[in-house]
Amino acid sequence: MTRYPEEVLTRTKKGDIEVRSQMDRGRYVRYHYLHPETGEPLEGGKLKLVLIAEGGKTEEFFIIPTKSKRGLLVPAAEKGARKIWDGTKSVDL
């Protein structure tokens, strides 16, 4: 008998049992980069994903499109506070 509820257990491809365990919870911000004159996306569709935990800690990742149409998630240096364009005005990240 396991000490974890059945609904948090999952089975790997090898058949091993694992527990899905929360590390943190929070919100996220996702943005892309636009050309300042044309407003068109730059750099082949690269996106930035900023994960913001409830405690305020952030983790940043680039999501880079691949030829297979899957996004490659690459850790990025944390840049701290900054503004982003929401389509009408600048807003805090």
pLDDT tens for each residue of 64-88: 888 888 889 999 998 888 999 998 9
First-to-last CA distance in the chain? 45
How many C-beta atoms surround the C-beta of residue 83 within 10 A?
10
**pLDDT in the model for residue 16:** 95
Is the predicted pLDDT of residue 2 greater than 70, yes or no? no
User: How is residue 50 written in tokens?
Assistant: 């900023």
> What is the distance between the alpha carbons of residues 26 and 37, in angstroms, rounded to a whole number?
34
Amino acid at 77: A
Q: Give yes or no for residue 52 having a pLDDT over 80.
A: yes
Please report the pLDDT score of residue 1 as a whole number: 53
